[in-house]
Chain A
């Protein structure tokens, strides 16, 4: 793994802060009804992404996740303006306005979605790894899911085959405590989700998902195992989301005190503390970063606002590779 240096910490600080502020902006424009549909935000979970990106080889490794998926592609190099535009439903969006919040994709940058059905992306992630193994590319797929998805049959079928076929994939459960409004304790007789790997003899374990260093170390070990041909790993990232499941969530299932407790171990604060303590930067230096982040978020909003709506034919053009597919007429 690349060494974790001063530059790493400063990058983590700026990236995570940008993701946080990007999501805050989405919440704000959602309330203004400029972004519609469901909106699932990542606030609180940023270290899981930051640590993983540090361990990845972005020239070939791939990532797939569920519908809490706005900032991962940005982390992998997708222009955040295009992600914002997708949420606005604009033609300049990552999916030309066809995907929306839950379906962000960038084949070019190795981000394979953005999937709306809980657990539906788990076999896909293994399949991507199947393809990479088949073609001997040496790439590894990171397949993310929430703590709700691990109760789906798709996880168990996929774990079984991924182990049997030694696919180069790392399965990562982002356990933020709640499957929508249902706590982990209420969904199963056990709460150590990582132990689900044991039944398949898959290397597995828990990770402090609020600390990017811990995430990077665990991810590196898992990815090296996959690259060596020794198959998958299952990591349970213990993390937390500050916001509701989606924007319509009144959060009656938890207390304000619980949310405040987690904010004490906020990933951005943790990184900031190290930066100041080790004198990697001063408060003034960080203020410059804060300003840059704020400006960039504003630029994304402006781009999305000013972008054109998609052309109506996009709706048809995107469905089939066949160019002259004879769609049925749906109205006069």
Chain B
């Protein structure tokens, strides 16, 4: 094993795959000469040259569409959005073309493309730069949505996303790029659509994904001191959802808390809540609790932002609630 940063995991995944497959290229704002806005493509221009590591103008709609179009003539692009907040400018090409070209053509065209970049909040960036669109993309048939929470998962899943023949939304975090973690020296790939039990426990199941899962770890540490054992499931993939992993855990713990950094209405937690009540109603000993951001645009002021974001105290409270403590 070796220890690398999250940004290096992303870079290694892209570079390893690009070495093996000429059809893959990386496109986006500042990905080439600047080495990536968050240095996730550091050194790639030097290795692969400007034909395959391509700086674009600031035109998300245009370059998202050009990348999708190039899949129709044989490419397998990786498109970096500087953040998924900016993907909204190009979302027509993702929803109306990438996700549908196969279906609309009766299966004649496939669309092997990865759209990647950071999602959700990253400090005091306020309303337009703090949004989590996982549930928006996960709502759309034709797409797959991956949200890793550590370097090991990021590398293995990004490689799987690049190899996948369907369009994949791959969501990172500005606040995770510096995170360090162990990855194998050699090559490895992780399966899409498979959740991971990050901690085993017996009293309550906590489901989360992406960087906010760290708040669940903190809460679990605190709760352990009080003798409460939490099982933490990292979804890793949001679409398709590994509901069976959640159900198996809930059947053991009989209690479920979901932690998701997203607005509360109609999000991933809502879907999990529906599916668990439908498929494991008799196993539940308490109503499911979900913890999300406030139902408002993200505020700027540190005091307000702290209130807006879910944190480990919120998780502790929710766990105690489902335990009737």
**Chain A interface residues (CB < 8 Å from chain B):** 62, 64, 93-99, 103, 105-108, 112-117, 120, 122-132, 134-135, 137, 139, 153-154, 157-158, 160-161, 164, 314, 317-322, 325-327
Contact = CB atoms under 8 A, between A and B. Distances in A.
A93 B106 contact: yes
Contact of A113 (B105, B141, B193): B105
B264 interface: no
Given A62-B73, A124-B97, A321-B110, A107 B105 contact: yes
Contacts, number: 156
A327 B25 CA distance: 30
Contacts of B110: 321
B73 A318 contact: no
Contact of A157 (B61, B73, B108): B61
B194 to A, nearest CB: 11
B66 A127 contact: yes
Contact of B68 (A123, A153, A321, A327): A123
A113 B105 CA distance: 8
A123 B105 contact: no
B165 to A, nearest CB: 4
Contacts of B97: 115, 120, 124
Contacts of B107: 96, 317-318
B181 interface: no
Interface residues of B, number: 42
A161 B59 contact: yes
Contact of A131 (B64, B72, B104, B193): B72
Contacts of B63: 123, 157, 161
B141 A319 contact: yes
Given A131-B69, A164-B57, A120 B108 contact: no
Contact of B104 (A98, A157, A317, A327): A98
20 contacts: A64-B69, A95-B104, A99-B104, A106-B108, A107-B72, A107-B109, A113-B101, A120-B65, A123-B61, A124-B69, A127-B72, A131-B69, A131-B74, A134-B70, A135-B73, A135-B75, A137-B73, A161-B63, A320-B102, A321-B102
Interface centre among A126, A137, A160, A319 (most CB of B within 10 A): A319
B102 A128 contact: no
Given A120-B93, A318-B106, A127 B57 contact: no
A107 to B, nearest CB: 4
A154 B108 contact: no
A154 B73 contact: no
Given A131-B69, A325-B240, A326-B193, A105 B59 contact: no
Given A123-B61, A130-B70, A319-B103, 9 more contacts: A96-B107, A98-B106, A113-B101, A114-B104, A131-B69, A134-B51, A160-B57, A321-B166, A322-B166
Contacts of A122: 65
B28 interface: no
B69 A128 contact: yes
B62 A123 contact: yes
B66 A161 contact: yes
Interface string B82-105: 000000000011001100011111
A112 B101 CA distance: 10
A330 B184 CA distance: 41
Nearest to B66: A127
A117 to B, nearest CB: 5
B55 to A, nearest CB: 10
Contacts of B74: 131, 134-135
Nearest to A315: B103
Interface centre among B51, B108, B240 (most CB of A within 10 A): B108
A126 B66 contact: yes
**7 nearest A-B residue pairs (beta carbon):** A127-B69, A123-B65, A157-B62, A131-B73, A95-B106, A321-B165, A124-B69
A219 B265 CA distance: 52
B251 to A, nearest CB: 19
A135 B97 CA distance: 22
B156 interface: no
Nearest to A98: B106
A327 B243 CA distance: 12
Interface string B1-40: 0000000000000000000000001000000000000000
A154 B62 contact: yes
A283 B208 CA distance: 76
Contacts of A134: 25, 51, 70, 73-75
A208 B278 CA distance: 63
Interface string B105-129: 1111110100000000000000000
